[in-house]
Amino acid sequence: MFVAVVVVVVASSPGWGAFKAYFLDGTIYRESFPEILDAFWLNVKLFCTAELFILPAALFVAVLRSLPGPVFFPLRALAIVYADLFRGIPTILVISILGFGMPALGLSWVPISQFFWAVVALVLVYTAYVSEVYRSGIESVHPSQAAAARSLGLSHGQALRFVVLPQAVRRVIPPLLNDFIGLQKDTALVGTLGVVEAFKQAQIDQSATFNGTPYLVAATLFVAITIPLARFTDWLVARDRSRQQAGRLA
């Protein structure tokens, strides 16, 4: 209903004709689609590459924050500072600082690839976010689970690995997928480094045609990825809720 109202209001507005000509040109859409699609595969590559590092790195940070005792306080403090720092800095600033700053150092052993630093920036930022998701999962496991494992002779590390983490990871899969959706969208920010991904290619096409339809093409491609992920997340949440209800009834 809401969408229908918005469509009616927009279509009946005085500037609809100019808006339609600028953003909804079918010919430009068809002509720019192949180029933007080719560039979009770089977004997918960025997403997949970053995710390979984010998942284990975030779990490592979350485990550091869960270490007990005063002897591990420095590690816990370091993990807290890292998570707070990179959750507090906007992603586009991290990308710009690393992407422009690190190659400018002029060190022979520092990579100058913009793709490399784009991946590093995304990993640093999203590891901080995902570590908090993991941590919430670890803390959701009742302490009696770890206590029971310790009573059976397992060390703290073994209890964490074999008892706590399997339960924690299973519980946080839906929120993890939500972070994946955010990561996929944020790959568009690397265009600030000059990397030609979907949004950057849309900007190039817009400059060549003086028409905003290429932006619609890029939006279509991102939606084609994020909506299935969102529905899959909803399905996982519903399945987990059904299992919990079945467990309580049993």
The pLDDT assigned to 6 comes to 62
pLDDT at 188 over 70: yes
pLDDT band, very low/low/confident/very high, at 159 (cuts 50, 70, 90): confident
Structural domains of the chain in order of their starting residue, each with its CATH number: 27-240 (1.10.3720.10)
Render the chain in DSSP notation, one character per residue: -HHHHHHHHHHTSTTHHHHHHHH--HHHHHHHHHHHHHHHHHHHHHHHHHHHHHHHHHHHHHHHHH--SGGGHHHHHHHHHHHHHHHHS-HHHHHHHHHHHHHHT--TTS---HHHHHHHHHHHHHHHHHHHHHHHHHHHS-HHHHHHHHHTT--HHHHIIIIIHHHHHHHTHHHHHHHHHHHHHHGGGGGGGT---HHHHHHHHHHHHT-SHHHHHHHHHHHHHHHHHHHHHHHHHHHHHHHHHHHHH-
More confidently predicted of 131 and 231: 131
Q: Are 55 and 130 in contact (CB under 8 A)?
A: yes
> What is this structure's pTM?
0.87
pLDDT at 216 over 80: yes
pLDDT at 1 over 80: no
The upper half-sphere exposure of residue 30, i.e. CA atoms within 13 Å in the direction of its Cβ, equals 2
pLDDT at 2 over 70: no
pLDDT digits (tens, 9 = 90+) for 13-62: 887 888 888 888 889 999 999 999 999 999 999 999 999 999 999 999 99
Q: Are 179 and 133 in contact (CB under 8 A)?
A: yes
pLDDT band, very low/low/confident/very high, at 207 (cuts 50, 70, 90): very high
pLDDT at 139 over 90: no
> Poorest-confidence range of 117-121, 165-169, 236-240?
236-240
Give the residue-averaged pLDDT of 147-154.
Answer: 80
Cα-trace Rg, the chain? 23
The upper half-sphere exposure of residue 161, i.e. CA atoms within 13 Å in the direction of its Cβ, equals 5
The pLDDT assigned to 244 comes to 67
The pLDDT assigned to 155 comes to 78
pLDDT at 4 over 80: no
pLDDT at 232 over 90: no
Give the residue-averaged pLDDT of 123-144.
Answer: 90
